[in-house]
Chain A
């Protein structure tokens, strides 16, 4: 590409950035809407009216998701911290971003994140679309400015062609980047686990005896009391209530919290130290656990619950209702292993086309 072409691409890129902040007609997918097939045990995926999934936006999003050019020093893609081989999380206590900087929270799985009413442990993004720009610009994660990113992408003919097909526009803007990554994320569904086949599919042999005991303990308000927060509904189960709770993770000797969680967003005292209930689907794949990755194993998480958590002024009262024997704890762990679902198809790195 010649210097002048490059410059004009950059200008258009910057202009696109400037105008591309809100969602407009031109950022709408133009392709045919594809139906996202939902595996057993999950409800229909919520789809925003201005970002209906198309084969083209999903393909574009998938390419972006695995592209290290989304980070300052070309080292990190979304998949660096949301690895398909690790249940779309990173196996680390705290994520490590560009420049080797450690983040402050544990990377959650992206499987079934499409169902969350709010994104992030503290719910600071209202939708996947709004979430996407944050890691890209976060200094500890990918640390690349929108202008720089769009310049990088729009100087690549493949992206320009994909953008043309997906949105009918010549150059990608940030809204299109966000929309296509989100469209891809809406395909990252995982259900049809042994639990789903047992509970929703009527296959009584899908769970072991220990897992069935675990399920009963999970739902019993006087034993596990887990389902009050990790919800199971009549026809589907997300294993999260989409709400925020204080479990006492990160309580110090003076009962202050290392991370105030949701309080940082709302400023409401009762939100202090509360975090979004994570899904438990595929939880066996996503150690370590909790928003700070402080629990190494599912067994350790069960011990933590058996102890009723760490006291602090905002501890959720549901915590003290839990009563678990050693057998109960091991049955619950077995049950949670039965929540590992089928992995979404065509979710790995795109092959060279």
Chain B
């Protein structure tokens, strides 16, 4: 793909066309509309559950922002690393849960609504985000400083783009499943995010209490995987009954 993209863009330039397809994307002429799977609302079910972390919690790490005074100003007082957020009841936030297997042979239309990642207070919000293959990702900078979003993709096309204060949102898409793409800001070394790109719509990011919900699933048996920045991944099987709710809990223990 890294090889074909320059070629594709040269052809487009020579044809005098200023808009090429998304990087690495298929050329417009060759794609037939895929046969998208239609989920029957009458039988669709839900997986819900939670992610917990128990045992000794990692020590809080302070973040040094003095490198950029505008970032210091955007945050009140001491700033701590936010990559491991556990609430009073051991709920673990920012875990990425997705259906790893059980949907083989089904193709899903990319969600029409874009997901947004905002650079705000010199942090990425949200810190962990899921996006479907082909779904639009809007990158916003609401800070008064220049940021730089650098998704260090390995399966997808890796890119890096500067976004000044007040610049319009960037609209990007990923073309292949990739769990996860680490994202950094080349300017502010503490800024990190992760993007999970999934080739179907069945994924979720755990909320601050560790809870998550994956709705509108066709009935069936699935393997769910949970990913967290600092923890080894876990898997569990779950069966979703027709029009029912399957519960599943993940538990991480401190080593």
The answer to whether A and B assemble together is yes
Q: A interface vs B, CB < 8 Å? A: 248, 251-256, 258, 260, 263, 269, 272, 295, 300, 303-304, 306-311, 313-314, 325-327
A308 interface neighbour in B22, B164, B186, Cβ under 8 Å: B186
- Does B154 belong to the interface (CB within 8 Å)? no
Known contacts being A254-B23, A272-B13, A307-B148, is A313 close to B6, with CB within 8 Å?
Answer: yes
* Also in contact, A304 and B146, with CB within 8 A (given A254-B21, A310-B160, A325-B67): yes
**B160 touching A307, Cβ below 8 Å:** yes
Min CB distance, B2 to chain A, in Å? Answer: 8
- Say whether B172 contacts A253, CB under 8 Å: yes
Can you list 11 pairs linking A and B with CB atoms under 8 Å apart? A253-B171, A253-B172, A254-B21, A255-B20, A295-B164, A307-B160, A308-B186, A309-B160, A310-B160, A326-B68, A327-B67
Given contacts A303-B145, A303-B146, 6 further A-B contacts (CB under 8 A): A251-B161, A255-B159, A256-B9, A300-B164, A303-B162, A308-B160
Nearest CB in chain A: distance from B188 CB, A? 9
Known: A256-B20, A326-B67. A313 touches B162 (CB 8 A): no
Q: Which 7 pairs, one residue from A and one from B, show the smallest C-beta to C-beta distance?
A: A307-B148, A303-B146, A313-B6, A307-B162, A311-B159, A326-B67, A311-B160
- Could you tell me the distance between the alpha carbons of A314 and B20 in the complex, rounded to whole angstroms? 15
Contacts A254-B22, A308-B160, A326-B68 given; does A260 touch B145 at CB 8 Å: no
Q: Verify A308–B148 contact, CB threshold 8 A.
A: yes
Residues of A within 8 A of B67 (CB): 325-327
A251, A252, A254, A260 — which one has the most chain B CB atoms within 10 A of its CB? A254
- B18 lies within 8 A of chain A by Cβ: yes
- Contact at B162–A304, with CB atoms within 8 Å? yes
CB distance from A302 to the nearest CB of B (A): 9
**Is A269 a contact partner of B20 (Cβ separation < 8 A)?**
no
Instruction: Report the minimum CB–CB distance from B232 to chain A (whole Å).
Output: 31
Which residues of chain B come closer than 8 Å to A260, judged between CB atoms?
A: 13
Contact in complex: B148, A256 (CB < 8 Å) = no
- Distance, CA A159 to CA B162, complexed state (A): 51
**Contact flags (1/0) for B33-68 with A, using CB distance below 8 Å?**
000000000000000000000000000000000011
Partner of A311, one of B19, B22, B146, B161: B161
Closest CB in chain B relative to A266 CB, distance in Å = 13
Docked-complex contact B162 and A309, CB < 8 angstroms? yes
Task: Evaluate whether A300 and B146 lie within 8 angstroms (CB atoms) in the complex, with A255-B9, A308-B160, A313-B9 already known.
Answer: yes
Given A303-B146, A310-B160, A325-B67: A256 touches B12 (CB 8 Å cut-off): yes
- By beta carbon, the residue of chain B nearest A327 is B67
- With both chains docked as a complex, state the minimum distance between the C-beta of B147 and any C-beta of chain A, in angstroms: 8
**A contact face: mostly helix, strand, loop, or mixed:** loop
Is there an interface contact between A256 and B19, defined as CB atoms closer than 8 Å?
yes
How far does the alpha carbon of A313 sit from the alpha carbon of B159 in the complex, in Å?
10
CB–CB B164/A303 < 8 A: yes
Residues of A within 8 A of B10 (CB): 269, 272
Residues of A within 8 A of B186 (CB): 306-308
B222 beta carbon closer than 8 Å to chain A: no
Query: Which residues from B are CB-within-8-Å of A309?
Result: 160, 162
CB distance from B25 to the nearest CB of A (A): 8
Pairwise interchain contact B19-A307, C-beta atoms closer than 8 A: no
Cβ of B187 and Cβ of A306 under 8 Å apart?
A: yes
A260 vs B12: C-alpha distance when bound (angstroms): 12
Which of A255, A269, A307, A314 has the most chain B CB atoms inside 10 A of its CB? A307
**When the two chains form their complex, are residues B19 and A254 in contact, meaning their CB atoms are under 8 A apart?**
yes
Report the Cα distance A130→B217, complex, angstroms.
68
Q: Is B5 interfacial (CB 8 A cutoff)?
A: yes
B158 within 8 A of A: yes
Inter-subunit contact A310/B161 (CB<8 Å): yes
Q: What 0/1 readout, one digit per residue, does chain B (172-190) give for beta carbons within 8 Å of chain A?
A: 1000000000000111000
In angstroms, Cα B16 to Cα A260, docked, is 11
Docked complex Cα distance between A214 and B240 (Å):
63
A263 to B13, CA, bound (A): 10
B248 contacts the other chain (CB 8 A): no
Chain A residue at minimal CB-CB distance from B3: A313
> Could you tell me the distance in whole angstroms from the C-beta of B143 to the nearest C-beta in chain A?
11
| Most chain A beta-carbon contacts within 10 A, residue among B23, B147, B162, B172 | B162
List A contacts of B187 (CB < 8 A). Answer: 303, 306-307
CA distance A101 to B171 in the complex (A): 30
Q: Which of B9, B67, B68, B150 has the most CB of A within 10 A?
A: B9
Inter-chain CA distance A74–B68, complex, in Å, is 49
* Distance (whole angstroms) from the CB of A252 to the closest CB of chain B: 8
**B170 interface residue (CB < 8 Å to A):** yes
In the bound complex, residues from chain A placing their C-beta under 8 Å from that of B170 are 253
Any A CB within 8 A of the CB of B69: yes
Give the one of B12, B13, B185 with max A CB within 10 A: B13
For B21, the chain A residues whose CB sits under 8 A away are 254
Q: Which chain B residues lie closer than 8 Å to A326 at the CB level?
A: 67-69
Enumerate B60-101 residues with CB–CB distance to A below 8 Å. 67-69
Judging by beta carbons under 8 Å apart, are A256 and B160 in contact?
no
* Bound form: Cα–Cα A304–B89 in Å: 43
Q: Is the CB of A254 within 8 A of B20?
A: yes
Q: How far is the CB of B115 from chain A (nearest CB, A)?
A: 15
**Residues in chain A near residue B23, CB distance under 8 A:** 254-255
